[in-house]
Chain A
Amino acid sequence: MAIVDSIASLGQACIRFVLGLGNFAILLAKILMRTGAIWRRPRLIGAQVHFLGNHSLAIILVAGLFVGLVLGLQGYYTLRRYGSEQALGLLVALALVRELGPVIAALLFAGRAGTSLTAEIGLMKAGEQLAALETMAVDPVARVLGPRFYGGLIVVPLLATLFSAVGILGGWLVGVVLIGVDPGAFWSQMSGGVDFWDDVVNGVIKSVVFGIAVTQIALMQGYGAQPTPEGVARATTLTVVVGSLAVLGLDFVLTALMFGEL
């Protein structure tokens, strides 16, 4: 009996996963189809950029600085064994621009801004505000979800780029200012090894994909939440869990596509 139950729960998990993917695609398509209507009110998107971006700035900058500091220290200790401390700049820059910047910024965004999106929309739903909008013939997808989606889409690449830039400055601070790696070698090795299109632009593309994924998951969880306190709480938790896993999984796929040999 226990075996049958576990097989049944496996099946249920699979069905729920496929349902989730389907809901994700349907909601994304709904928002994309209303792009024109959404951009007719740029003020709403601006307010979301402020809410999602400006308020996430502090945590992104501080986290980026510390990640850069640690990368600088650890990188220096390891590179010193091979007598190639000069490559420290290259190591810090490539690690941040290709992987850590987009990924950590997206994870922090999921925790800092994604949760608040889910909770806000979930509570709107619980308070029947979304139903009220519909009664007044206002499309909640265009009026409530759309601006948040495009806000997230704009904000996440900017945050990831800022994260990488601050991290590189952190690595410079530890490597050059504190330890005394030659600054000329630090910057020239970096600019010699980092390609703008292959590395920087691919990192930005990654963060755009992460922005879409995290924002969309947050909106989906909020929009589909049970309109009860427990439902909103569960939806908020799921935003962080699903959003983070999606970012890490997508990162693997994107890295394989972008930086694989041909």
Chain B
Amino acid sequence: MQARNLNLAVGAFVLLGLLALLFMALQVSNLGARSASNTYELKAYFDNIGGLKPRAAVRSAGVVVGRVRQIQFDDQQYQALVLLDMDARYQFPKDTSAKILTSGLLGDNYVGLEPGGDTEMLKAADRIRMTQSAVVLENLISQFLYNKATEPSAPGGGSRK
């Protein structure tokens, strides 16, 4: 009888620990969300991915419709190849365009999809043709400074004209 009580107590303890691990897997981490839905893969080439990371969200109209699975460098085209895991529930037209956007001012990068008007849908392993790179702040600043330098000086400040 005493041995049975001991077994029961130990079993309950181990079971409780495993339940906690299950809670971690399904509720706390992303394991449940990822394995629950099946996905199809899309490819996209970008000139510059900025700070995009694997597992970043893919959004369309602000809704998460997939995740970035892998980012590689393509040394034939000298571009970044981004593989996207798309939620199988959502289909996008063939002329969908992809942009790399930033959530908020300081937030993470994500891939934004804008659907086009094509009647054919993208299938698994298809490539998204139209892409727009991430905005790199340094380029933006240098462009701004360059424009400032080339434009004619302002009417108030320019005395020579």
Interface residues of A (CB under 8 A from B): 43, 46-47, 49-50, 53-54, 57, 93, 97, 154, 157-159, 161-162, 164-166, 168, 187, 190-192, 194-196, 199-200, 204
Contact = CB atoms under 8 A, between A and B. Distances in A.
A200 B10 contact: no
Given A97-B28, A200-B29, A50 B10 contact: yes
The A interface is mostly helix, strand or loop, or mixed, namely helix
Given A97-B24, A165-B20, 10 more contacts: A46-B6, A49-B10, A53-B13, A158-B16, A158-B20, A159-B17, A166-B20, A191-B30, A195-B30, A199-B29
A161 B30 CA distance: 17
A162 B20 contact: yes
* Chain A CB within 10 A, most for which of B7, B23, B30: B30
A46 B7 contact: yes
A159 B14 CA distance: 9
Contact of B55 (A97, A195, A204): A195
28 contacts: A46-B6, A47-B6, A49-B14, A50-B10, A54-B10, A54-B13, A57-B13, A154-B14, A158-B20, A159-B17, A161-B20, A161-B21, A161-B24, A164-B20, A168-B28, A190-B27, A191-B29, A191-B32, A194-B30, A195-B30, A196-B29, A196-B30, A196-B31, A199-B29, A200-B21, A200-B24, A200-B25, A200-B29
Nearest to A159: B17
A191 B17 contact: no
A7 B14 CA distance: 50
Contacts of A195: 29-30, 55
A162 B30 contact: no
Nearest to B67: A192
A159 B17 CA distance: 7
Given A97-B24, A161-B24, A194 B10 contact: no
A84 B127 CA distance: 36
A165 B23 contact: yes
A190 B25 CA distance: 12
A158 B29 contact: no
Contacts, number: 77
Contacts of A43: 3
Contacts of A46: 6-7, 10
Contacts of A47: 6
A199 B28 CA distance: 10
Contacts of B6: 46-47, 50
Contacts of A190: 27-28
Contacts of A191: 27-30, 32-33
A157 B10 contact: no
A201 B10 CA distance: 23
Nearest to B32: A191
B9 interface: yes
Contacts of A165: 20, 23-24, 28
A192 B21 CA distance: 17
Q: Lowest 8 CB-CB distances: which A-B pairs, in order?
A: A158-B17, A196-B31, A165-B20, A196-B29, A194-B29, A161-B20, A162-B20, A200-B24
Interface in B41-90: 55, 57
Contacts of A97: 24, 28-29
Contacts of A161: 17, 20-21, 24
A157 B23 CA distance: 15
B92 to A, nearest CB: 22
